[in-house]
Amino acid sequence: MDHIKSPGENLPVNVIVRRPCCMKNKEMCAPPIPHEIRETCKELILSEDQMRKIMERLTDDINKGLSKSRHDEAVVKCYTTYVQDLPNGTEKGNFLALDLGGTNFRVLLITLDGQNFDMKSKIYAIPQSLMLGTGTQLFDHIAQCLALFVKDLNLQTEVLPLGFTFSFPLVQEGLTEGRLVRWTKGFNCSGVVDEDVVSLLEAAIARRNDVKIDVCAILNDTTGTLMSCAWKNKNCRIGLILGTGSNACYVEKTENAERAIPGKYVAEKPHMLINMEWGAFGERDTLDFVITEFDKDIDDNSIHPGKQIFEKMISGMYMGELVRLVLEKLVNSGLLFGGKCPSELRKRGKFFTKYVSEIENDPKGKYTNCREVLAEIGIRNVTDQDCENVRYVCSVVSRRAAHLASAGIAAVLNKMGEDNVTVGVDGSVYRFHPHFHDLMTEKIGQLQNHKFDLMLSEDGSGRGAALVAAVASQKR
């Protein structure tokens, strides 16, 4: 029988055979996205002009936030943190840290010794009933977890310094006092707004009276991330969270922190960390030119409507739901799943943000993760075209989030005006999304001219809390 030659046979080995379609590199061919689907998603794609406008408006808001006279009109409040020292590697000792504000609540014991560092930690669930209950219940629960942890390690007789990472907006009047401005994300406990959170924690520990804790610092997770990364990398001057919520902090000149209370900081020290609370950006219509029907829906149905607009467009608490809303609209218009919508896809919160990362992790033209995710929400026997469309929606939503965060970081880099700034980043969205890092590196590079890099924080803000506590306890 004649041997039928396959294309490329008998050619010298170094000649590249062009295969039809995109079968090169074993990549599969992906079906094109129908025009109507692109149209539905159009408003979720930001132009460079829009991103530059976002940068301008954010810069304006940062300046207002820092200023004494214009702070009241500011949406991005730029709170003073009273953290003025970056770690220098000489920090030593055992420290406890609490980390409240993301999806999990963590208690940690951190041992610092020069460049060595050891960490023991335990994660405790915070049930939704506690997130929405009374402040007393919440702080009693935190104190209980802390006491259990300390007793487990047999440290109950030692007075341990503690750094409290509390990832909500605080007005601080020093390192160890912070009044809650408002709850964000999934929390809404009564009796805490306007109160000093450190006093609430101390009172809960005192009610138990079974462990000895010295709360030496309260800080935001962005501050913790910056400190933690700065311990490893001296250039780290911005801390960024892309997780359940989103926010950034940066190193500002002390003289520009106009609202810092004299006597509570050292004027001679050149720097002060500023917790921007950029999640609130957009609250006074500043982002209306990019807000879509999907964002409005998210906001209207959130537990803090009208608040944290930028955060709702970026962070993990909302990303999956944004995708779900777009998918639902496509099904309703008959453009997806043959127009049939399984009941799970109609339910709020049923499309998790982790699905977005999983779906976008499939190699081009393959839909293994996508089919698994869809099966989990009751959608089976889907076509490749459906999968490709779902993936397209995920990528549009996550790309927008990456671009918004990039516009934010580009604005901060311009404001700082320095080269070689490292941005320490933490949070599940950045950590688990397959393209977030690359998308941001590319976009920040396009939007501003300073050299920078993005560094993943290794251990969350735990080490950062210990470092702030270390400096504070040394001062005492």
279 binds ligand BGC (CB under 6 A): yes
Nearer to ligand BGC, 159 or 456 (CB): 456
Q: Which of 61, 91, 221, 295 binds ligand BGC (CB under 6 A)?
A: 221
Q: What is the footprint of ligand BGC within residues 318-347 (CB under 6 A)? A: none
Shortest distance in whole angstroms from residue 191 CB to ligand BGC = 19
Nearer to ligand BGC, 41 or 257 (CB): 257
Shortest distance in whole angstroms from residue 437 CB to ligand BGC = 18
Give the per-residue SS3 of the chain: CCCCCCCCCCCCCCCCCCCCCCCHHHCCCCCCCCHHHHHHHHHHCCCHHHHHHHHHHHHHHHHHHHCCCCHHHCCCCCEECCCCCCCCCCCEEEEEEEEECCCCEEEEEEEEECCEEEEEEEEECCCHHHHCCEHHHHHHHHHHHHHHHHHHCCCCCCCEEEEEEECCCEEEEECCEEEECCCCCCCCCECCECCEHHHHHHHHHHHHCCCCEEEEEEECHHHHHHHHHHHHCCCEEEEEEECCCEEEEEEEEHHHCCCCCCCCCCCCCCEEEEECCHHHCCCCCCCCCCCCHHHHHHHHCCCCCCCCHHHHHHCHHHHHHHHHHHHHHHHHCCCCHHHCCCHHHHCCCCCCHHHHHHHHHCCCCCCHHHHHHHHHCCCCCCCHHHHHHHHHHHHHHHHHHHHHHHHHHHHHHHHHCCCCEEEEEECHHHHHCCCHHHHHHHHHHHHCCCCEEEEECCCCCHHHHHHHHHHHHHHC
Shortest distance in whole angstroms from residue 105 CB to ligand BGC = 13
From 161-169, 289-297, 448-456, 462-470, span contacting ligand BGC (CB under 6 A): 161-169
From 79-87, 245-253, 453-461, 468-476, span contacting ligand BGC (CB under 6 A): 245-253
- What is the pattern of x (binds ligand BGC, CB under 6 A) and - over residues 446-465? --------------------
Active site residue 24: no
Active site residue 299: no
250 binds ligand BGC (CB under 6 A): no
Q: Which of 99, 311, 328, 386 binds ligand BGC (CB under 6 A)?
A: 311
From 238-246, 328-336, 369-377, 439-447, span contacting ligand BGC (CB under 6 A): 238-246
**By CB under 6 A, how many residues form the interface with ligand BGC?**
19
184 binds ligand BGC (CB under 6 A): yes
From 150-158, 218-226, 377-385, 437-445, span contacting ligand BGC (CB under 6 A): 218-226
Catalytic residues: 185, 221
